[in-house]
Chains A and B, each alone.
With several copies, the nearest count.
Chain A
Amino acid sequence: MDLALSPEFETFRAEVAALLTANADKAPTSADRGMKHPKRLAWQKFLIEHGLTARTIPTEYGGYGAAPDILQSRIIAEEFAKSGLPRGLAGQGISMLVPTLLELGTDQQKADWIAPTLRGETIWCQGYSEPGSGSDLASLTTRGEIDGEDYVINGQKIWTSTAKQADMIFCLVRTEPDAKKHHGISYLIFSMDTPGIEIRPLVDMTGAANFNEVFFTDVRVPRSQIVGEPGKGWQVANATLTHERGMLGDPNAAEARLLAIAELMKTETLNGAPLIDNPLLRDRLIRLQAEVYAMQANGLRVMTARLKKESAGLAGLIVKLQGCELNHELARLAIDALGELGVLYGETPYIKDNGSWQWRYMYDLGLIIGGGTAQIQKNIIAERGLALPREPRLAKA
């Protein structure tokens, strides 16, 4: 065990830090609204050119072309966190579609889509879940019927974030209705401007429309716009779902949240005394601190396994379940500590941290549910991690 970084990495860290400091003025701010604001696109271009994002994507597809190196990625992430500057773009196009195309796309698809996606010029959304297909995603029913050289798509998707902003969608469609559930699905990519697409914002408990519903009525998509083979869409999608699951439960985010609560408890008062003086709140804080540190150390274990190209096993399987739960509990502590002030929400006097604790408390509950509910996660841990039997098949009713 050795948690120190070797000197070459410390050098790399210094270079990254220097680069960010020297170019901080180029970074967009929250005032530069809009996903395609020129300043945002310019910053993304700068980051790619200096290997601070899209680092391991081959240069022929518009990336920086470095060899994958988890430690370098971590150092970059840490230096961005220190600098407070905005990181490279990380929408679903970049995090999910690009890896999929790199692995399974045709040469033409790679050439067409990867570079503009990396540059932030082409924005993507994801069409996977449906109202009737949540945990049981493979039961999806949006159908694509062949008509000449096109698929004609009808059906509905849900939980589609950035649908309004997206240029393109990658979408799971049942193209072979007679095949078994996990077969007969195809992975199609098409423009959100295609006639027959309707987007309805989906307001959630936070009060915002973080997601959308997308309706398809006779949407025509050329058959060439398939990734992978017809009927193999489930397998194509699973490659990217793995990417999505890995993104959740960031232990450094949890530590930042912990420190923010500690700060809040030192500065806010109840009946004249700082909240941190309350032994009950303090006990809850320390209890969560131990869990945050445990998840952080667990993150180091998972990263080490990746460095060695080994499976992280159970340590990896539990990340989503434990990470989401921990973040939710941290938000709950902040709300309880603030008491009456903890329920303030919106633009209102006395609100703390812009109401982000309530927002997180609710949004994190969404994360506990989304991307594989806690119950599905426990099934996965038990079946894949502990080799307990799968849910047995039922007798026909």
Chain B
Amino acid sequence: MEFALSEDQLMLQSSVQGTLENVSSLDHVRRVAAGEHEVTGAINAALAELGLAQLLIPETHGGLGLGALEAALVQEALGFAVSPAAFLASALATEAIKSAGTEAQQSQWLPAINTGTVRMAAALTETVSTREGAGLVAENGHLTGKTLFALEADTATHLLTADTAGGLHLVDLTAPTITQSPLETIDQTRRYTELVFDKTAAEPLGQNGAGSPALQRTLALGRILLAADTLGACQNMLGKAIAYAAERKQFGRVIGSFQAVKHMCAEMAAKLEPARSLVWHSAYLFDTEPEKAALMACLAKSHLSEVGTFVARTSTEVHGGMGFTDLVGLHYWFKRIGANRQWLGGPEILRAEAARLQGWA
């Protein structure tokens, strides 16, 4: 019995974190936010050397054959650095192909993702929350309609998406029948787009229909990774708050010696530590007890969203006016936590789904 990270896991996380410190510092993030998208390319290139795209690809297809826990640790490091690096969409697509794809599809796509000749985007928003008349209708191997908040579609070659009946599809993003428009969000570290399809050719994954287990599993992975991303972002915000409180003086003493500030930091830590344990446990169960994955993912993401909202605000308050400015850049974390909260289901939606999964609704 051991509920702790292995040496390998710790090494993986620290190597990602170390690389990010060099190639994805706050300065880099600021440049990306200012529109220098080539910086993102450089970050992705540096991370590619660590094998992030290969992480979830089975060894039989040339990958590292690691699991959701390792992916969550990587994502936590990305959140810690509010890194613009591509990872989440590719992880979701990999999982979908592994779960839903035929053997032939797996043999075709997984090695291509593994070597980087295919870069995957993901558009699953409408499988959770349909707004603005969005949704893709599948007919005779083609998709028609629109999907919002496609992740990383502007730089990917292919897309994982789902139709209104829950079937998963892969789409070549160079198809001329696709119109892509950027969607600007508060979180300038991620690129979302709207995709409009007009009888766009799509390859259905496996023979799955509505509410397929593969879709549920893919969503579960996405939610666990978003929870991990928020965890990392919170950890950094807490660390920054403690450092600021220990250094900033008012009324002749460091503000961290005032009980009000001290307790704000203590409350953040008190919420964050169990939250970290929950993220680890969810990811571990995703790999070891798949039947628990969907529930745990809903609980982990909804809980981390609530903790994240608290930490984002409280850390900003500890920083006083400085937290509100762009000078320390705290808002990049604040906004990433805010965006994570809404994608693939806000807390209320996820808790309702958790109730359904347990037969409580």
Contact = CB atoms under 8 A, between A and B. Distances in A.
A382 B263 contact: yes
A390 B258 CA distance: 9
A293 B285 CA distance: 12
Interface in B281-311: 281, 284, 288, 296, 299-300, 302-303, 306, 309
Interface in B169-207: 181-187, 194
Interface stretch (B2-10, B36-44, B57-65): B2-10
Interface stretch (A42-50, A57-65, A89-97, A339-347): A339-347
B261 A375 contact: yes
A286 to B, nearest CB: 4
B20 interface: no
B344 to A, nearest CB: 9
Chain A's interface: helix, strand, loop or mixed, by majority?
Answer: helix
Interface string B61-99: 000000001000000000000000000000000000000
B304 to A, nearest CB: 9
Contacts of B182: 348
B343 interface: yes
Interface stretch (A23-31, A183-191, A198-206, A230-238): A198-206
B273 A271 contact: no
Given A318-B270, A378-B262, A134 B321 contact: yes
For this complex, into which size category does the number of interface residues on chain B fall? 35 or more
A135 B303 contact: no
Interface stretch (A1-9, A119-127, A145-153): A1-9
B257 A136 contact: no
B257 A388 contact: yes
A136 B258 CA distance: 13
Contacts of B338: 335, 343
Most-contacted residue by chain A among B254, B273, B326 (CB, 10 A): B273
A295 B354 CA distance: 18
B263 A1 contact: no
Interface string A294-308: 111110110111011
Most-contacted residue by chain A among B131, B249, B253, B338 (CB, 10 A): B131
Contact of B275 (A71, A294, A394): A294
Given A276-B360, A349-B183, A136 B251 contact: yes
A269 B131 contact: yes
Interface stretch (B107-115, B136-144, B209-217, B312-320): B312-320
Interface of A: 1-6, 9, 71, 129, 132-136, 139, 158-159, 202-205, 211, 262, 265-266, 268-272, 276-283, 285-287, 289-291, 293-298, 300-301, 303-305, 307-308, 314-315, 318, 321-322, 332, 335-336, 339-350, 358, 362, 365-366, 368-370, 373-375, 377-379, 381-383, 385-392, 394
Interface of B: 1-6, 9, 69, 125, 129-132, 148-149, 181-187, 194, 242, 245-246, 249-263, 265-267, 269-271, 273-278, 280-281, 284, 288, 296, 299-300, 302-303, 306, 309, 313, 316-317, 320-321, 323-327, 330-331, 334-335, 338-339, 341-343, 346-349, 351-352, 354-355, 360-361
CB-based closest 5 A-B pairs: A205-B331, A297-B277, A300-B3, A294-B274, A290-B303
